[in-house]
């Protein structure tokens, strides 16, 4: 015990006497530790106890229900020019981005800062409605049931779109991490969409999921979070694998992957190859960003946001752009 206390004291003394520029070095070490954690479990990119901050942006409509469960709720952010009280809604219809948070299928929230702030600011300024949803989580609901929640939320948002001054035919579905897996699964599974009563949407953006093909993951060494999510049944692995569920006629899909995670980009390439066989447009966008920053930095000025914007704008009909 004395040795341990002495070691801690010496470490504290050493840190206290480091030169001022050492803070940058320590910050880099902290970042590398977080990156290592992200590689082991991408949804644990933040250190234990460091929760994602709550968004400071207030939704125009909060906790809009799309089901009976308390987690089946969505927040709606409306661009100023498309508030329902204005005449603009009668003349122009806004496209919609529907966002699904990550969290290893077992945590996360629709009003997290990294989920909402930069994305909403960017696309609201371009005339889009931004919708952020919650869904049921493990252990209450497995990933297939969670995907059904996403489809239900999409159907409900499409039904409510006219009241927001939005166009139900101009939806982009987006998700990060586990949420990216869910949106890719809904994208690839027409039966999930049909069951929910959702209508076709324009395309999907999946932000850094390493789980578009679950079967090979489970047949090799894998992170323990997958065991709780998809279990041991190969039939369920196939049912929750967007790559294996993908069918001809699917809409365009953009898979953003971190080049710092081989599993993410390799899986994205595999789904793109499958898309090529089926005649489905599946694009892979590689980014030298951490798993967390792929989510958090989307919407900030730069080449990354511009590339995602180009994919979306190719599919939608933007109504206006603020100067």
> What is the pLDDT tens value at each position of the chain, 323 positions in all?
444 444 444 444 444 444 444 455 565 554 454 445 544 444 444 433 345 799 989 999 999 999 999 999 999 999 986 544 444 444 569 999 999 999 999 999 999 999 999 999 999 999 999 999 999 999 999 999 999 999 999 999 999 999 999 999 999 999 999 999 999 999 999 999 999 999 999 999 999 999 999 999 999 999 899 999 999 999 999 999 999 999 999 999 999 999 999 899 999 999 999 999 999 999 999 999 999 999 999 999 999 999 999 999 999 875 544 43
Q: What is d(CA 41, CA 107) in angstroms, rounded to the nearest whole number?
A: 13
CA distance 33 to 37: 6
Which tokens in the block code for residue 244?
């294996």
CB crowding 140-179: b at 16 or more within 10 Å, else e: ebbbbebbbbbbbbbbbbbebbeebbbbbbbbbbbbbbbb
Cis link prior to 139 (omega < 30° from 0)?
yes
In a 3-state reduction of DSSP, which class is residue 246? coil
What are the angstrom distances between the C-alpha of 144 and each of 44, 137, 185, 253, 269? 22, 11, 8, 19, 23
In this structure, are residues 82 and 89 in contact, taking their beta carbons and an 8 Å threshold?
yes
Give the CA radius of gyration of the chain.
21
What is this structure's pTM? 0.83
89-98 in b/e form (b: 16+ CB < 10 A) is beebbbbbbb
The encoded tokens of residue 197 equal 């009563």
Q: How far apart are CA 206 and CA 73, in angstroms?
A: 21
């Amino acid at each position: 015990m004395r040795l341990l206390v002495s070691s801690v004291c010496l470490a504290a003394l050493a840190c206290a006497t480091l030169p001022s520029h050492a803070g940058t070095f320590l910050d880099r070490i902290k970042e590398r530790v977080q990156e290592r954690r992200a590689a082991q479990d991408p949804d644990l990119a933040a250190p234990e106890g460091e929760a994602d901050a709550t968004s400071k942006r207030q939704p125009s409509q909060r906790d809009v229900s799309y089901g009976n469960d308390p987690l089946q709720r969505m927040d709606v952010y409306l661009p100023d020019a498309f508030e329902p009280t204005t005449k603009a809604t009668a003349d122009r219809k806004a496209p919609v981005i529907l966002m699904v948070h990550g969290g290893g299928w077992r945590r996360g929230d629709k009003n997290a800062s990294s989920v909402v702030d930069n994305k909403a600011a960017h696309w609201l300024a371009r005339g889009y409605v931004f919708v952020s949803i919650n869904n049921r989580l493990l252990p209450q609901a497995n990933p297939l049931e969670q995907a059904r929640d996403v489809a239900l939320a999409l159907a409900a948002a499409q039904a409510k779109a006219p009241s927001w001054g939005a166009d139900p035919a101009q939806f982009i579905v987006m998700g990060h991490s586990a949420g990216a897996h869910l949106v890719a699964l809904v994208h690839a599974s027409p039966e999930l969409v049909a069951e929910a009563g959702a209508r076709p949407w324009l395309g999907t953006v999946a932000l850094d999921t390493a789980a578009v093909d679950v079967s090979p993951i489970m047949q090799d060494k894998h992170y323990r979070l997958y065991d709780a999510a998809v279990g041991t049944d190969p039939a369920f692995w196939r049912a929750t694998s967007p790559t294996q569920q993908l069918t001809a006629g699917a809409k365009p899909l953009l898979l953003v992957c971190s080049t710092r995670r081989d599993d993410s980009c390799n899986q994205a390439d595999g789904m793109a190859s499958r898309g090529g066989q089926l005649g489905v447009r599946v694009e892979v966008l590689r980014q030298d960003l951490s798993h967390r920053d792929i989510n958090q930095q989307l919407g900030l000025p730069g080449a990354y946001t511009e590339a995602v914007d180009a994919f979306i704008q190719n599919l939608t009909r933007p109504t206006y752009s603020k100067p």
